[in-house]
Structure 1
Amino acid sequence: IHNSTVPDDGTGGIFSEITRWEWDLGYGSSTQIYYPGNIDTCYMSYDSPYDVSLKVITDSNCTDISEITTIKVLPTPIPDFVTNLNGSLPGGNGVYLFDGTISTTTNGDSALPPAYSYEWTIEDGNYFINVPDDVQLDGREDKGYYSYNSLINDAWLQACLKLENVDNGCWDSICKDVRIDHFNNLIVPNFMYPTDQSSGASEFLPKGKSLGIYRLQIFDKFGNLLWETSDLDENGSPTTGWDGTSLDGEVPQGTYVWRIKATYIDGEPWKGMLIDGKRV
């Protein structure tokens, strides 16, 4: 507005000055100001585009109107998401749903792929996992499942979603604290191959988390105790597996019996493996 001038001012001893500025901001009505300066306004994307012009009036009531400038306001993404625990999903406990399909734009439209890209940052124990750079959600980029890898003992951990318009690069992000409960799990294998170091089954090692008390014993078919351990790491996971030996050396190929007594850190006892509808 400071660039508005009266051409040939003072010609023939006649002077004039601009006394009023009238903005047509594209709303359908004009805004008048009586001093030189800037004007602030707020445009919303759902009414875009806006045709803006400026009319000036001098003290002698002469007028002029600027060329129309069209302002296009792009819709801004509004990221949002919900999380739900679902311990019954394949893979066991600790699996959480991250659902960003409730995200919208300032136009009120849904912000879904492929027009919008989703980037998640999920705090997992001492690490921040980037999705999709580090791992993929089990599902779609806007709605999928993440399996926590660390022991989570009733903790609030941060999860963030960055939502970006693929065409124009407009983006916004949101972070929420998600309550992750510790999850109880113990799975016992039913075979081992001590001589095959590449199979991952060279030792008899149960997989679990959140254990507070744990004791694994191995017996022969006559009930003789061959080996036992109570080793757990800081996550409550078993760390030591049976390698098929006893105090007398390597045991022969055959059938052996395991027994586990375990209690989770919340005091819940391990109830055994569910096989063919029965607890063993």
Structure 2
Amino acid sequence: MAPAIVVSKNTICAYEEDPILTATPAPTGIIYWYKDDKTTFIQNGLTLQADRTKGTEYWVSQEVNGCEGEKASKSYKINPEPANPIVTGAAVCEGSDVIPVLTTNLPQDKWYGDALATDFKGTGITYTPEVAAVGSQDVTYYVVRTLQGCNSDTIPVVLTVVPIPTFEISPKEHLKCQSDAGEELKAINLKPDYHTNPAVSGGKIEWFQKGIKRGEGDTFIADTAQFLPGSINNITARYSVYIGSKTCKSEEVLMHYDVRRTPRIPIVNALPVCLGEYTEASDIIEIPILSMSEVEWSSPLLHNGDKQFTRKITLNGQQLQDIGVGNIPIEIIAFDKDLTECKSILNDNIKVSPMPDSHILGREKVCEGTIEEFYSVEFGDAANHYKWEVTGSNVMYSKDNLSGATRYIDWGKSGVDTISLMVTSPDFCMSADTLIVYKAKYPIADFDWELPGAMNIAEFTNLTIQDSIIEQTIDGVLVMLEVPYSMSWDFGRSYNQIGREVQYDDRKDIIREEYMYGPHDVTLQVTNEHGCVNTITKNIFVDIKANIEMPNAFAPTNPAYSVRHFQPVAHGVTKCEIWVYDVWGNLVWYSNEVEEGIFVGKWDGTYNGELLKSDTYIWKMEATFADGKPWNGTVKPNGTETKYGSVVLLR
């Protein structure tokens, strides 16, 4: 009997390998394979690799015990590979949310997101990608056609993403004066450049001014009549490119067209400069220039004619003195700080006029109650106008009513007042001055005197009263101004007419003067710094009293300092001499020291630096009192007087 045949795959696609046929013989059978004509032998064996070039039907038989049995057949089918889909891609502008449709030519075609056809997207003639899947790069999809279980090639379909076109405007910013013509603007750096890029079928540049389209093309001249002077005017442009039927537009590009107003003509102070107001070479005169714009100025008479970039016309006192009275020509240019060509010019003059004199001449320190105190201006001019004022309850007047440059004042009570004067010239040059006047009370001269120690030296103590000037400030605070004074002393001595001048800082010092016995008229004249004078005279009597006392013992080594010296007490003497002798008649100490009528000599008990022994020593004294009388000596118990005595030195 014929063997059974099994084929590995009954139907295959044209692009697949041919199947394998397998025969199942009897245990001792031999298999024979034949072509589809049943006679052409192919091979022996259990299996046969089909070969479509030899046909798709095969016959097989088996031989058992030398006899070949009947033949059986087996065939397989080859289905054709489907034709590849005919696809059409599309283009989309970057960032668009309207995604175009991709197409194929048969409804059974399948769409995939990858080349291995594992990311299935759908079936049909069309496919619309999701918006989220579209970025800035091209996106490729794949289409496969399946017929009778056989697939076509995987055909890519590209969704082309057209980048947003970009470009620049040259210049990016533009600065023009109000009167200038419009400037040509250019679109540059086009990407993609529709002039040269073959992928782009065309393009255009649109220009907008104040939001309205004003032109189209690679260049544009702005309509300056549409601009608002003094502000920044915006011009925008947009670039569109064509890719097939698709139009992609750029973002609008902005440029600033800054139109500056023509500066207003500057203004300068028309008042004249008063020549006499600036007397020092270092004085600076500044004349402001009023302008909202930047300015420069120059004058052939100033700064060597060089341009000055300040808002003040400046010159110093020396320049003004050199120029003198007259006119200073000046040229001022107002210009835009960013566009110097945008400017306006002023040609003017600065008038230099003489300055009227207003310096007040007169005394600043007066006594209260002074009348007809004269005040004036040194260089008066009848053409000038003079305005005088004085504070307080003082009387100011003119005696002739003709000259405005002089005034008299009757001053009132003590205090502080101010004279003020404003002078205006015919050219309206104005000057002013003030003079603060201090009115002091008269001093009350007084002094006291004494004869300390009953000597011929008189001591004088100043008791003068000089009231301060009391003034109340605008804040209500009382201010006391001390009034210094000087003193002139006449001590009333016909035998010594030398007086003494004492300044204010020494007013509290005690004055000591030597007198002879008898009466004297002492005069003190006090003059304060305001010139207010007061005098007082007092009679003093110099009654010189003298006294001499002699100690009888002393102890040089005693702890008590008061008993360590032998020191006679003698007051009111002009001359005093003391001699001390030991018991053998040797002179051991002598002194004639007198200061201001007082004997000041003292013996410490030594001789040639050696302390003498305890003993009795003899003294002798000669003295003359201030009244010229001699000292007669000490009174002894019997009533007689002696110039000798003894003193005991104790150790």
Which structure ranks higher in relative contact order (CA pairs < 8 Å, sequence separation ≥ 6)?
1
TM-score, structure 2 as length reference: 0.20
Larger radius of gyration between Structure 1 and Structure 2? 2
Counting strand residues as a fraction of each chain, which structure ranks higher? 2
TM-score, structure 1 as length reference: 0.39
